[in-house]
């Protein structure tokens, strides 16, 4: 089994968010896919199988399967465009979150994702204890989004992961209005055995709708302020979010396992 290691939302290796990608003729067992994800020890390993004109795509974290992942979709698209579908200009994936289409536009790959519906929730003492700073607002969709008052608080924040798992939401994001970028953020995935996601596409399906409404604009340039860092070119289209970024190949490996 081939396994491609791709840095997504990156312009060069060692930036953005690494994902492992396996393109298969058929799916192995869920148990084996989870073991591969655990062995890879990345935030996501993607498994793609050709399904008619489209590809069926599934994402596994070391903690289990997840319903939506942006950077691993970007990484899978990069692999397919460069090794399997070299003449294609778009690829549609069948996923747990419905059809997802990725379009090749020069050096950028543009993904069309569903936006999560957010509801405002009270800021709690537990949020402050987990993050080490008190949010000014909190919003809940699939994930919890905590809005911080100052951009300068985002990058140096060191959360208490033992308390993050007690908060609502599958993932927990912090975000603030940026100066160079429209928004800056970080994403924590302690419930999925991933302390921090370096650049989180599905997280921006929460973050982009929030800032688009706050800033009164549909085009958002978002920066993930993790140690690796990554930039997302985003836009709102009704109840959909377009996320665009580049990707680079780090390695191609042979997995010596029985499928």
59-112 per-position pLDDT tens digit: 999 999 999 999 999 999 999 999 999 999 999 999 999 999 999 998 899 999
Mean pLDDT of 107-125: 95
Mean pLDDT of 32-59: 96
The answer on 108 and 143 residing in a single domain is no
How many structural domains are present in the chain? 2
The answer on 192 and 106 residing in a single domain is no
The answer on 219 and 148 residing in a single domain is yes
User: 143: Cβ–Cβ under 8 A, 6 or more apart, which residues?
Assistant: 116, 169, 170, 171, 172, 173, 202, 203, 206
Q: What is the mean pLDDT of the chain?
A: 95
Distance CA 82, CA 74 (A): 12
Q: How does residue 259 score in pLDDT terms, banded at 50, 70 and 90? A: low
The answer on 136 and 161 residing in a single domain is yes
Q: Per residue in 159-205, pLDDT tens?
A: 999 999 999 999 999 999 999 999 999 999 999 888 999 999 999 99
DSSP conformation class of 155: T
The answer on 133 and 232 residing in a single domain is yes
**Per-residue b/e over 42-64, b at no fewer than 16 CB within 10 Å?**
bbbbbbbbeeeebbebbbbbbbe
Cα distance from N-terminal residue to C-terminal residue, the chain: 8
The answer on 180 and 94 residing in a single domain is no
The answer to whether position 259 is within a domain reads no
CATH number of the domain to which 214 belongs: 3.10.310.10
Distance CA 22, CA 34 (A): 13
The answer on 108 and 125 residing in a single domain is no
Structure tokens at 71: 């950077």
DSSP conformation class of 117: P
Q: How confident is the model at residue 136, as a pLDDT? A: 98
The answer on 205 and 101 residing in a single domain is no
The answer to whether position 34 is within a domain reads yes
CA 8 to chain centre: 9
Mean pLDDT of 141-162: 96
Q: How confident is the model at residue 107, as a pLDDT? A: 87
The answer on 92 and 129 residing in a single domain is no
- Annotated catalytic residues are 44
Distance CA 57, CA 105 (A): 21
The answer on 76 and 12 residing in a single domain is yes
* pLDDT higher than 90, residue 18: yes
Q: How confident is the model at residue 193, as a pLDDT? A: 85
Residue 140 domain boundaries: 119-238
Q: How confident is the model at residue 102, as a pLDDT? A: 96
Whether the model clears a pTM of 0.75, i.e. scores above it, the answer is yes
* pLDDT higher than 90, residue 7: yes
The answer to whether position 149 is within a domain reads yes
The answer on 156 and 230 residing in a single domain is yes
The answer on 134 and 106 residing in a single domain is no
Residue 105 and residue 90 in contact, taking contact as beta carbons nearer than 8 Å:
no
Sign of CA dihedral 228, 234, 238, 240: negative
Count of CB atoms situated within 10 Å of the CB of 251:
11
Mean pLDDT of 35-57: 96
Q: How confident is the model at residue 258, as a pLDDT? A: 73
* pLDDT higher than 70, residue 234: yes
């Amino acid at each position: 089994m081939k396994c491609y290691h791709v840095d997504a939302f990156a312009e060069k290796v060692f930036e953005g968010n690494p994902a492992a990608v396996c393109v298969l003729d058929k799916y192995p067992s869920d148990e084996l896919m989870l073991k591969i994800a655990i062995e890879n020890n990345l935030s996501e390993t993607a498994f793609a199988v050709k399904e008619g004109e489209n590809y069926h795509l599934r994402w596994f974290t070391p903690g289990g399967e997840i319903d939506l992942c942006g950077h691993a979709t970007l990484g899978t698209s990069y692999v397919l465009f460069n090794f399997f579908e070299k003449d294609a200009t778009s690829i549609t994936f069948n996923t747990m979150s419905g059809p997802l289409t990725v379009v090749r536009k020069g050096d950028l790959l543009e993904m069309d994702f569903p936006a999560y519906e957010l509801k405002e929730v009270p800021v709690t003492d537990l949020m402050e204890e987990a993050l080490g700073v008190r949010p000014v607002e909190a919003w809940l969709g699939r994930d919890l989004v905590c809005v911080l008052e100052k951009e300068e608080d985002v990058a140096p924040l060191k959360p208490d992961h033992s308390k993050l798992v007690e908060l609502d939401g599958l993932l927990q994001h912090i975000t603030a209005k940026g100066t160079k970028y429209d928004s800056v953020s970080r994403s924590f995935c302690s419930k999925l055995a991933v302390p921090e996601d370096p650049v989180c596409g599905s997280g921006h399906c929460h973050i982009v709708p929030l800032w688009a409404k706050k800033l009164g604009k549909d085009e958002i340039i978002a920066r993930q302020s993790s140690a690796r860092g990554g930039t997302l070119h985003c836009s709102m289209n009704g109840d959909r979010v377009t996320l665009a970024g580049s990707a680079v190949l780090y390695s191609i490996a042979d997995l010596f396992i029985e499928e």
